[in-house]
Chains A and B, each alone.
Chain A
Amino acid sequence: MKPTPPSRTFDLADVRARLDGLRGQQYWQSLDEIAETPEFKEMLHREFPNGASEWDDGVSRRSFLKMAAASLALAGLTACTKQPVQHILPYVKEPEELVLGEPQLFATAMCRGGYATGVLAKSREGHPIKVDGNPEHPASLGGSSVWMQASILDLYDPDRAKTLLRDGEISTWADFASDFNRILREHEANQGAGLHFLTETIISPTLAAQLDAILKKFPQAKLHSFDSISRDHVREGARLAFGQFVETQHRFEKTSVILSLDSDFLYTHPLALRYAREFANARRVSSGKGEMNRLYVAESTPTITGTMADHRLALGSAEVEMLSRSLAQRFGLGTMDGTSTKSESWLNALARDLEKNRGKSIVIAGEWQPPIVHALCHWLNDKLGNVGNTVFYTEPVELRPTNQLASLRELVSDMQADAVKTLLILGGNPVYAAPADFDFATVLPKVKQSIYLGTELDETAALCAWHVPQAHYLESWGDAKSFDGTISFQQPLIEPLYGGKTPPEILDLIFPQQPVRDDYEIVRSYWETQKRWPDFEKGWRRSVHDGLIADSALAEKKMELKSDAIGEALRSHQVSVTGIEVTFRPDPSIWDGRFANNGWLQECAKPVSKLTWDNAVIISPALAQQQNLAAGDIVELELNGRKVRGPIWLQPGQAEKTVTLHLGYGRERAGRVGRGVGFNANQLRTSDALWSASDLKISKLGEKHPLVATQTHHNLQSPERQIYREGTLNDFKANPQFVKQSIESPKNAETLYDTNEYRYDGYKWAMSIDLNTCLGCNACLLACNAENNIPVVGKDQVARGREMYWIRIDTYYKGSLDNPEFSHMPVPCMHCEHAPCELVCPVEATMHDHEGLNLQVYNRCVGTRFCSNNCPYKVRRFNFLWYADYKTPSFKPMYNPDVTVRWRGVMEKCTYCIQRISRARITAEKENRRISEHEIQTACQQACPTNAIVFGDLNTPNSTVAKLKTHPLDYSMLGELNTRPRTTYLAKLRNPNPEIQSEAKG
C-alpha cells in the first residue's frame, strides 16, 4: 500500500494556519506529520526499498534454500527435541566471598570529562553486568546518566582495542616498556626537551602527582591537556570576574527562580545528576505544600533543561549574550546598545521576578557561552545576593587548571615546528576532536615517537607509532574528584579483558623501579604518602569500599568580585551576529564521539527530537520555510571556507536563525557500530569558534537522507484525548482535584465480575510516574536495556517501527511552532488488572500472577501478536527477526543471567523487573518476613536522577507508592477503557510567571 508520492512541498505558512486553527490544549508532534508532507513515508521506500534488506543479508539463495530446509526440519522437530548436553566446569580454586548465583556490588567511579561520578557496579559470577548510581556519592545520589548505564556495553564492546600495536603491528607490553625506556633515556639527556604529554582534563590526584614528578625529572617536558567539550569559557569567565580560576557550585534545592542562559545544567553539567535531583525536589508538589520553583531558559536548541522550563526563549547563542547584557543593564551594569527588542517585556518580567526572589535565585550560563556571559552571571548572582545562599565558590576541582585551547594550540605549533620528539597522548581522540584549523591529523605524523593510550582503534590510534589499549574503568584502579571536589576511587570488577592499561601505569614506567607496578600499587602508594588517615589500611579500605572519601568536598571560598573589570570587558568588545548562526553542542547520546560505538546510545532516541542513529543539521521551522527545506534534505554547510554535508531536521523550539550541529558523529575509525554514522561537525569547528559562529551558508543539494525518529507524531490530536494531563500551579492551588475533573476510570465496584475472584492480598505491585519531575533524560530507558538484555535492532529496523525499548519516553509539543511547550511522558507496561492483551492470547503466554503482575512467558509465546494489537498503550515489543545477539562471544558475560534472552518470534515487554522482585521475595521468604519497602527498585526507578519513578507494594500501608496513588494529581492513562492500570501518573504542573502568561494571552 504505497502512499502517493509527495504532491506538494513543505508549506509552513500552511502549518502555522493549521496550528492557529487548533483550539484549547492541543499538542502536536513532528512537523512532517502536521504538514502531512509524505517525506517520512517516502523515506522508507527510498532508503529501504521494500524487503531489499532481506536479500542482502549475506545469505545466498543456495545456502538460503539449504537453511530453509534445515529450518523446516527444525520446525518439525522442535516439538520433541532433546536438550543439548551441557557441561559444568567448577573452579579449581574457588574465590572467597563469591557465591555463584548471587550478585556482588562494588563501589567505583566513572569519569566523564574527567569529573567522577560514583557508581555501584553489579557483578555476577565474576563479571560486571550492570552499573548504577552510588546513593552515597554526592555527584550521583543514586541517579544515573545514560552514559553510566551504557558504559557496561563499552566494557564488552567487541571492537575495543585488544592488543598493543606498534606501527600497526601487534606487539607486547614488554617491547613497549623497553622502547619507552629507550625514548626516555634519550630525553634524560636534554631534560625532556621535546617530550610532550597530552592529557584530558586532569582530575585524578594520582595522575597529577605523577605529572608533577615527571616535570621535576624533565623540567623541559611540556604538559598539554585538551577536552573537546572543554570548560574553558567557564574558567575564563571566572578569571574575568575574580581574576583567578574558581569553580562555581549551585544549590538548586533552595531556589525559587532559576535563569539558565543556554546552560543544560540538568543533563550535560558535570554535576547534572545532583542538580537534577535538587531541582526536582524544589519542584515536586505534594498536596501539602503548594510551592515550586520557576525556571526561565534562553537557549538556541531545545535541551532537557529547556524542555523543563516554565518560560523558554529560543535565542541564538549571541542573542543569549545580548539578553544577559541587557539583563545586567537592568540591574545597573554597562550600557546596552544591541538590545534584543523581541524579548523586552519577557526580560522585564524576569527582572522583577529575580528582584522579588533575592537570595533565592540562580543565574547560570552554559559552558558554550563566552566568558563575558559567565562573568555577568557571577555579577548578577552577586547582585541578587545569591552568593552564599544558592551559589558559592570553591578552589578549582581540576588539578592543573589551564586554558585547554591555548595549551593545545601550543602543542600544535610545537609539532609544526618539529619541536616535538615524543608525544604521549593519554586518552581522548584529538585527531578526531581537535578544532579543524589545528589540522591535527596532518601535524601528528610529524612526531616520530608518538604513543597513544586509547580504548579503541580510532583516528588517533591510526596515526600514532604506539597504540596501547586503555583499560575500561571497570577494569582499572584509579582516583578522581567529582565536581564538588569529593575524592572518589575506582576499583576493578574484572581483570582487563584485553590487557588494557591505565594512564598511571604508563606514566609509572617513567620511574623505572623493579618490579613494574600495576595501577593498584600506584594508586595505593600515592594515598599512602598523603597521610590522610591515622590508620592508613583502615581508611584506605573504608574509602575503597565506599568508593569515596567521606566529606572531602571542597570548602566554600569567599571571592572578591571585580565589577569594573567586567564593565570594562563589556565595553571593550561588543556582541554582534550576522547571517545564520551555527552552534556546536555535544550529542545528547554519544557525547563528543567517545560513545559512538555504543549501540544502546546510538539507538536510544535523543531526548527531544527522538532521532536515532544520526545527527542532523537542526534548523528552525521558520528557517526551513525561508530556505524551502524539508526534513531529510541533504544540505552543504559552509563556514568560512570549510564545508560539511548533512541532513536537515526541523526542530520546533529551535532559535530562528540558528543552526545546531551535534558533535561526535561521522567517525571514520570506530567500531562496526559507530563507523560512518552521521556526519562530522568538527570539520566546521575552528579554534576561534568552538561553540558558535556567524555567517553559515546553507545550500540544498537535492538529495535525501532518511532520518529515523522513534516518534513521528507529537500531537495529541484532540483535547478529549486525555493521555497527558497538566495544569499550572495556580490551577492546582485553586482546585487540587482539577486533574480528576476530566474523564475518569470506572470505580472498582462498576463491574459485572465477581470482584472477590481475584484478590491481590499478598503483595500488590504498582508504579507511579511523576510527569512533573521527569526530565526525559533516557536514563530509565538505558537502565532497562541493561537490566533486561534488550537487543539493539539497528537503524533499518527502527525505521520499520521495530525498536525494542520496554520503556519509551514520549515527547509532546504544545503551542506555537517556534517556541512550543514540551512534555515528557515515560511509558512502560501499565500492568493493567483488566489487561486487554491477556484476554486475546490463545496459549496463556501472557496472564496475571497473584501479585498483579502482567506476565509474559517467552517460552510459551507462539507469536500471534494479537496482544500487541489489543494493547491500548502499545508497550509490547516483538522479536520480528532474531534480534538477540547470540553470536558475539564478548556479549555473553554481559547478559543479566536472571533474565531470559528472548529468541525470534516471541513477544516481550516491561516486567516490573520481575527478576528483582523474585530475588527479594525469596530472600524474604527464607527469613519468613515481608519484603520491606526499599528492598525492590525497578531498574528505571533506580536510574531515575529525579526519583520521578516510584515502585512498590500497595498493600504495604503508607508505602511511598501507596501514598502517591492517593495524591490529587494521580491519574491513570486511558483509564476510561477500564483497563485498571497499576502504573499511574502524577499530572504535570507548570509554574508560569503570571505577567508573561497574561501577556502571552493578550
Chain B
Amino acid sequence: MTREKTSVTALPEPEIEYEEPALFGLMAEFEEHEQLLAAARRAYAEGYRRMDAYSPFPIDGLAEALGHENSPIPLFTLAGGIVGGLGTYFMEWLAMAKLYPINVGGRPLNSWPNFIPVTFELTILIASISAFLGVFLLNRLPEPHHPVFNVPEFERASNDRFFLCIQADDPKFELSQTRKFLESLAAAKVVEVEQ
C-alpha cells in the first residue's frame, strides 16, 4: 500500500511536574486499520505525544503517524556484521599463523581463501543476533504485564480490532477532553485504562 508522509512538528516538552495519576490512559477501539491510521494522525496533529497504537498486524506508516523515530535496528545489525567479520578473520589468522603455526599440507600459514567461509558465516550470525536482540531491547521485552491488558476488550488487539491509547501522563491529557476527542474519531468504543 502507498505510504503517506506526515510532516512531524515536534513540540517542546513542558517541564511541569505531574504526580502519578491512577489512570494509565484512555483507549479507543476501531474496526478498520484505516480508521486507526487516520485517528493516529489526528491525535498527533492535536498535539498528543504520549500515546501508542495497537493492531493485530503491522500497519505501514502507523509509527510515523505517531511520530516514532526510525528504528535503529539496521545500525545494530551493521555494527554486528562488521565486528563479526573482522573478529572472525582475526581469530583465524591468529590461530593458524601466530599462536601455533603448523605446516598443514604445505599450504600457507595464512591461507586466506580457506578462511573466508567461516568469516562469512560468523558475519551473518553476529549481525543476525544483534538484530534479534535489538527487537527485545528496544521493545523492552519480555514484558508480560502491561496496563493495557487491564482492558477486557484489548484481547481483540491480537485478533481483529485496532486500538489507540493516549496515556494519562501526556501533557495535553485531560480526561473529559481527551475522551471527547477520541469519541470524535469514529471509535467504536472508548474505555479507561487503569494503571
A→B interface (CB under 8 Å): 753-754, 757-758, 832-839, 841, 844, 847-850, 980
Contacts and interface: CB of A to CB of B under 8 A. Distances in A.
Nearest to A840: B105
Given A834-B105, A838-B105, A847-B102, 14 more contacts: A753-B106, A753-B107, A753-B108, A757-B108, A758-B103, A832-B105, A833-B106, A834-B106, A836-B105, A837-B105, A839-B107, A847-B103, A848-B102, A980-B106
Contacts of B104: 838-839, 841, 844, 847-848
B106 A849 contact: no
A834 B105 CA distance: 4
Contacts, number: 37
Contacts of B108: 753-754, 757
A850 B101 CA distance: 12
Specify which of A753, A754, A757 lies most central, judged by the most chain B CB atoms within 10 Å of its CB: A757
Contacts of A837: 105
A838 B106 CA distance: 9
B104 to A, nearest CB: 5
Contacts of A849: 103
A926 B124 CA distance: 54
7 contacts: A753-B107, A757-B108, A835-B105, A838-B105, A847-B102, A848-B103, A849-B103
B96 to A, nearest CB: 10
Main SS at interface, chain A: loop
Nearest to A841: B104
B73 interface: no
A844 B107 CA distance: 13
Nearest to B107: A839
B163 to A, nearest CB: 52
A757 to B, nearest CB: 6
A754 B109 CA distance: 10
Interface residues of B, number: 8
B112 to A, nearest CB: 12
A980 B106 CA distance: 10
Nearest to B95: A844
B102 A844 contact: yes
A839 B109 contact: no
Contacts of B102: 844, 847-848
**Interface SS, B side:** loop
Nearest to B102: A847
Nearest to B106: A834
A311 B103 CA distance: 48
A705 to B, nearest CB: 44
Interface string B80-112: 000000000000000000000011111111000
Contact of B106 (A835, A841, A844, A850): A835
A691 B25 CA distance: 113
A357 to B, nearest CB: 50
A844 B105 CA distance: 11
Interface string B121-161: 00000000000000000000000000000000000000000
Interface of B: 102-109
A949 to B, nearest CB: 25
Contacts of B105: 832, 834-839, 847-848
Contacts of B109: 757
A74 to B, nearest CB: 29
Contacts of A844: 102, 104
A758 to B, nearest CB: 5
Contacts of A850: 103
Nearest to B114: A839
A975 to B, nearest CB: 14
A94 to B, nearest CB: 41
Nearest to B109: A757
Contacts of B107: 753, 834, 839
Contacts of A841: 104
B48 to A, nearest CB: 60
A849 B108 CA distance: 14
Please give me the 8 A-B residue pairs with the lowest Cβ-Cβ distance, nearest first: A838-B105, A848-B103, A839-B105, A835-B105, A834-B106, A838-B104, A847-B102, A758-B103
Nearest to A838: B105
Contacts of B106: 753, 758, 833-835, 848, 980
Contacts of A757: 108-109
B98 to A, nearest CB: 14
A270 to B, nearest CB: 48
Most buried by A among B103, B107, B109: B103
Nearest to A758: B103
A836 B106 CA distance: 10
Nearest to A837: B105
A119 to B, nearest CB: 39
Nearest to B110: A757
Nearest to A834: B106
B49 to A, nearest CB: 57
A428 B107 CA distance: 59
A839 B106 CA distance: 9
Contacts of A832: 105
A757 B109 CA distance: 8
B175 to A, nearest CB: 63
A562 to B, nearest CB: 69
A972 to B, nearest CB: 15
Q: Of residues B102, B104, B107, B108, which shows the largest number of chain A Cβ atoms within 10 Å of its Cβ?
A: B104
A841 B105 CA distance: 10
Nearest to A753: B108
Contacts of A834: 105-107
A766 to B, nearest CB: 15
Contacts of A754: 108
Contacts of B103: 758, 847-850
A839 B109 CA distance: 12
A841 B108 CA distance: 15
A838 B104 CA distance: 6
A980 B103 CA distance: 15
Contacts of A833: 106
A849 B103 CA distance: 7
A258 B108 CA distance: 54
A836 B107 CA distance: 10
A837 B107 CA distance: 12
A866 to B, nearest CB: 12
A837 B104 CA distance: 9
A875 to B, nearest CB: 15
A867 to B, nearest CB: 10
A917 to B, nearest CB: 17
Nearest to B105: A838
Nearest to B103: A848
A840 B163 CA distance: 59
A691 B61 CA distance: 102
A847 B105 CA distance: 7
Nearest to A752: B108
A853 to B, nearest CB: 10
Nearest to B96: A844
A424 B108 CA distance: 72
A141 B108 CA distance: 46
A347 B171 CA distance: 123
A837 B103 CA distance: 12
A835 B105 CA distance: 4
B111 to A, nearest CB: 9
A844 B99 CA distance: 14
Nearest to A844: B102
Contacts of A980: 106
Contacts of A848: 102-106
A839 B108 CA distance: 11
A494 B104 CA distance: 44
